[in-house]
Amino acid sequence: MKKKRLITIAILVVVVAGVIVFFTSSSKSDSQQWLTLPVTKGNLDVVVTATGTLAADTTVQVGTQVSGTIAKLYADWNSHVRQGQVVAKLDTTFLWASVEQAEANLRKSKVAEEQAKRTFDRVKQLFQRNLDSQSDYDTALSGYQTAQADVVQAQTALDQAKINLSYATIKSPISGVVISRNVDLGQTVASSFNTPTLFTIANSLSDMQIQASVDEGDIGSVKVGQPVSFTVDAYPNDTFSGRVIQIRLQPTVVQNVVEYTVIIDVPNPDLKLMPGMTANLTIQIAEAKDVLKVPTTALRFVPPRQYVTGMMNALPDSVKQKIEQRRKADGGNQASGQAGGYQGAGQGSAQSLQNRELSPGSYFRLWVLDGKQIKPVRVRIGLSDGTNTEVAGDLNAGQQVVIGSLTQSGGRQNNPFMQQRRF
């Protein structure tokens, strides 16, 4: 009886152990979980971001070439002016005095010229009759020529005085709007060393431009004619557009970073944009419309080695032979993903995959969820914006591509390819 009971207990222990082993093995086989994201279809834009400052298309600083006191102002801030319109006048008291003095000097020079001419004519007649010497003749001729030169000099001084008088009337060189007035009535301006600025006039605020600073790492992708979209802090809900019209060759260095100035033409028909606003802009480098897109991290995913080994062991021998033949045909470099098979897709090839650049036209391997299993799909990549990448291959929108895996305890498996990189 006792022996029979021991046998029964032993059988129960064996059965319980078998059940535990069965469920443990099932749990292990089914414990692999995948992190996936869907394949999407749509437009893909590759952009460069930068900041810039809005300014008028053409800005002219209006100054004065003569010194004096501001007598009258005919324009103020935001005044619309026409080309040639008077915007200010200086006190002309001293300038008129200079003109009158120059006129008096001219009359005096003309009188001296007439006297020198009469003297020369008289000496000339005597010299022709041999009644005067050659020396007297030469002296009279020199005096007459000097008097003529004095007249020309006095006339030039008069012209200059009149020009200075005309400079006292300040006129707008262009048609536009006054964006700055730097003087007041009664203020004295001096033009001894440089030309003082009285007004700053923008030709038109309906056409503006942005001077953007683009990093040297991105400037090679920027081309004239590319479309630009931007926002300003004054209108955070509005998006404005423009176009690249110039890339200046002179570099600037800001905190050891080399930048280049890019000029962007901006239409401003409703005059919402103002000079000096800071623009946060996006330059569209390339665009792909209605293409399949996958997360860039999916191209960097590598399944665990033991998972790939299990898949390989489960394959028929004929399939294994084909994979081996293809691997040899590709020179044994399965880490590049060009063979499209399983072998070489484990963690041992992680470093070579991670070092590859996502250059358009190259081939990569994606892992697609098929039921509870995953399978590799060979794809050709196109444009990439860093987050998503254009792909072409045996894929459809809505399919789930693997970007990572979970361990049996529910923790995320360490995957060196989950870091996003910009290309």
- H or E segment to which residue 363 belongs: strand 363-370
Rounded distance between C-alpha atoms, residue 423 and residue 411, angstroms: 30
Closest CA to 280 of 48, 46, 59: 48
Judged on CB neighbours under 10 Å (0-12, 13-18, 19+), 280 is: middle
Q: Return the CATH class of domain 65-175.
A: mainly alpha
Rounded distance between C-alpha atoms, residue 242 and residue 235, angstroms: 16
Which residues lie closer than 8 Å to 189 by C-beta, 6 or more apart? 64, 67, 68, 69, 70, 90, 183, 196, 198
Amino acid, single-letter form, for residue 201: I
Residue with tokens 């963690």: 347
Band of pLDDT at residue 227, cut at 50, 70 and 90: very high
> Which pLDDT does position 365 carry in this prediction?
86
Band of pLDDT at residue 316, cut at 50, 70 and 90: confident
* pLDDT tens-digit series, residues 6-63: 445 444 444 344 433 333 333 344 457 888 899 999 888 889 999 999 999 888 999 8
Alpha-carbon Rg for the chain in angstroms: 44
Dihedral of the CA atoms 310, 316, 319, 323 (nearest 10)?
A: 30
Rounded distance between C-alpha atoms, residue 218 and residue 228, angstroms: 15
Residue 239: how many CB atoms within 10 A of its CB? 11
* Six token digits for residue 355: 């070092």
Cβ contact 168:98 at 8 Å = no
3-state secondary structure of 27: helix
Rounded distance between C-alpha atoms, residue 268 and residue 207, angstroms: 5
Residue 51: how many CB atoms within 10 A of its CB? 13
Amino acid, single-letter form, for residue 277: M
Cβ contact 39:396 at 8 Å = yes
* Six token digits for residue 92: 């002309």
Cβ contact 171:85 at 8 Å = yes
* Six token digits for residue 156: 């030039």
Rounded distance between C-alpha atoms, residue 364 and residue 297, angstroms: 12
Rounded distance between C-alpha atoms, residue 214 and residue 257, angstroms: 10
Residue 42: how many CB atoms within 10 A of its CB? 12
> Which pLDDT does position 420 carry in this prediction?
36
* pLDDT tens-digit series, residues 53-65: 999 988 899 988 8
* pLDDT tens-digit series, residues 286-304: 888 888 999 988 888 888 8
pTM: 0.64
Beta strand spans in 125-183 (E): 169-171, 176-181
Rounded distance between C-alpha atoms, residue 231 and residue 113, angstroms: 73
- Across the strands, what pairs with 37? 401
Does the structure show a pLDDT above 70 at 394?
A: yes
DSSP 416: T
Amino acid, single-letter form, for residue 366: L
Rounded distance between C-alpha atoms, residue 55 and residue 263, angstroms: 10
Domain boundaries, the chain: 31-44+292-406, 47-57+202-288, 65-175
CATH topology of domain 47-57+202-288: Elongation Factor Tu (Ef-tu); domain 3 (2.40.30)
* pLDDT tens-digit series, residues 132-175: 889 988 999 999 999 999 999 999 999 999 999 999 999 999 99
> Which pLDDT does position 411 carry in this prediction?
47
